[in-house]
Amino acid sequence: MKALVAGDPREVGGHRIVGRLGEGGQGVVYLGESPEGRRVAVKLLGSGLDDPGALDRFRQEAGYARRVKAFCTAQVLAGGESGGLPYVVSEFVDGPSLAQVIQERGPLRGAELRRLAIGTLTALAAIHQAGVVHRDFKPGNVLLSRDGPRVIDFGISRAVEELEHDGDVIEGTPPYMAPEQFGGGAAGAPADMFAWASTMVATATGRPPFGTGPLPALIHRITRAEPALGELEGALRELAVRCLAKDPGERPTATQALLTLLGHRVPERRLLAEGRQSAAPPSRRLGRPPVTAVVTVAVAVAVAVAVTAAVLLTRPSPPPVTSAGLPPAPRSGPMPLTSVSELELPDTGITVHENPADPVWVSSYHDHRKGRTGSYVRDPATRRFAFFGSLEEPIVSPGGGYVASLSSIRLQRTDFETIRLREVATGRDRDLRTVDKPATLFWPAWSPDGRRLLATVVEPGEPARAVGFAVVDPVAGTVRVTRVAVADQPRYAWGADARSVVYGAPGGVVKVLALDGKELRAFPDVGEVAAGGVARTSLGAVFATKCPDNTRNICFWDEASGDRKGVARLPEGGSFNGWMDGRHFLATVPGGGGNTDVVLMDATGRPVRTLADGPAAELDDVALWFTRKSP
């Protein structure tokens, strides 16, 4: 903000003028204060303009802007005339412009860029639904607030039904203008989509797709040349290509483009709200519980899947914390045998196949592909994935009461480690101290009720040694570390009802320990232990191993007696990833054409339903975590 100068008003329409925010061709934008003390932006048409139509256009701006729903836009609050000059009062957006951010920080990447794209498309959808065309969409007209991006300045907008073009006047900012704006044709909503794509390219690369420079050369490139998209990639790149089509009729609408980035069908009445929600920064999205039903996700008998599809299955557990301080209970019941909808994970080739009746769903995923370190957690209210953080590996508890994450940064610490716990009902984060260095935690897994988290304690060496396990209680805020003096290299998983732990020892031996580390049982010659720990199934309380006689077979053993209770046959290259419900388990199997399928199988190994699929190269590096929802 700059200080007021001589001739600036001290009051406009009952709003006290505090300072100058900016100045443009039409007038000055001031920082104002309403009678109630609310900060506002006051745009006042300047005097002495040569354009005789400026006054009429400014009045039109106020009328059109009031018709636009306040979704990712700066809401217009009032308008009128002061001292013979028209003014518009709008919501004050406290944040830099996108143009400033690009200049000072450089290009945006990853989830931040995607949120910006969704937010600005939400704004354009709201603008176009009101029958308005922005006609000057560019980085300078996007402000980055703490709640997400806001589109501002309808200074040269027109109602769609009143659009006219004067071939002698160029209205807009040339590097972001569409070909038809230079050719004497009507510039409608498709021109905004061209400008939107140009802005996204500039945001991702630092320069608009057709460059800048002398106007004749620039116009030639915009109307004749192919755009330079630089490092823009994935779904956003494909969408930008469509929006930069020379023919306005080939460009998608803002609504169509928004649905493309959201990746799933959304009822029309919910579209703008969901767009705004998905565009909000993580701290504003996951930090506050939904106004409607609070989250509910459940981890079943969790299984870390470090296999081809790197999938973790989890089972029942509680949703938001109850008044008694305990998290909510997970949803019960079997998985339906068919999928009825598809969800594409943004910027990946992975598709998740779902059914609204599913008690278990993909609750988070971690992107470990080269150059990417992002993780995402699903919001039960919107069913969309929200960015959780870089170098984080969040896993949601069964029932959705908590999100726990071990940051990769812990490996660089030299004093002690912490685990991040988010209480979903309140949005509060806590960092609990876990183990002192040189020890570190690996392979976290929630208990079936979602109330405790188990992790293996490892110390470095040649080879590294597993020296015990830790049990984290998020309700009590405690961490209990149990040291176990064994010569084995165990990876601990939950035993029956989370009252014990199990691990695989050399020679095909599986051992059961009490939570104080005392050995309870040992079962020799049962094979290499598989993912998931002990699960309660139609076969009883069982743990799984690769059968000692044939590693393509998975054997299920009674946790109390060690008796074999069943055998499942996996396809060549398949991996067992834990039980989904009492009758079905999760497996990853090679698909056709270099793909990998994440499949629901019955207790004999018969495929029942595909839950996710995608390129094997991507599923190797994008870890999906399945958890049981809340009731």
Is there a cis peptide before residue 631, judged by omega within 30 degrees of 0?
Answer: no
What residues does 237 pair with on adjacent strands? none
Contact (Cβ atoms closer than 8 angstroms) between residue 543 and residue 556: yes
Contact (Cβ atoms closer than 8 angstroms) between residue 616 and residue 589: no
Structure tokens at 586: 């999760």
Total number of residues shown for the chain: 631
Contact (Cβ atoms closer than 8 angstroms) between residue 118 and residue 279: yes
* Residues 9, 122: Cα–Cα separation, whole Å: 35
* Residues 398, 627: Cα–Cα separation, whole Å: 6
* Residues 208, 200: Cα–Cα separation, whole Å: 8
* Residues 237, 142: Cα–Cα separation, whole Å: 20
Is there a cis peptide before residue 289, judged by omega within 30 degrees of 0?
Answer: no
Contact (Cβ atoms closer than 8 angstroms) between residue 90 and residue 62: no
- The SS3 call for residue 98 is helix
* Residues 556, 534: Cα–Cα separation, whole Å: 10
Structure tokens at 366: 């971690």
Contacts of 295 (CB under 8 A, 6+ apart): 289, 319, 320, 379, 380, 381, 400, 401, 424, 425, 630
Q: What is the largest CA-CA distance in the chain?
A: 93
CA dihedral 185, 189, 195, 196 (to 10 degrees): -170
- Of the candidates 559, 508, 550, the one whose C-alpha atom is nearest the C-alpha of residue 532 is 559
Catalytic residue list: 136
Q: How far is CA 427 from CA 28, 326, 418, 424, in A?
A: 40, 15, 18, 5
Structure tokens at 609: 């339903």
Contact (Cβ atoms closer than 8 angstroms) between residue 379 and residue 295: yes
Contacts of 490 (CB under 8 A, 6+ apart): 456, 466, 484, 503, 504, 505, 511
Structure tokens at 422: 């988010």
Residue 575, classified by CB atoms within 10 Å of its CB into exposed (0-12), middle (13-18) or buried (19+), is: buried
What residues does 609 pair with on adjacent strands? 600
* Residues 493, 531: Cα–Cα separation, whole Å: 8
- Of the candidates 263, 252, 247, 227, the one whose C-alpha atom is nearest the C-alpha of residue 347 is 263
* Residues 537, 558: Cα–Cα separation, whole Å: 11
Contact (Cβ atoms closer than 8 angstroms) between residue 32 and residue 18: yes
Contact (Cβ atoms closer than 8 angstroms) between residue 446 and residue 497: no
DSSP state letter for 255: H
Q: How far is CA 424 from CA 152, 319, 396, in A?
A: 33, 8, 9
Give the number of C-alpha atoms closer than 13 A to the C-alpha of residue 461, restricted to the C-beta side. 9
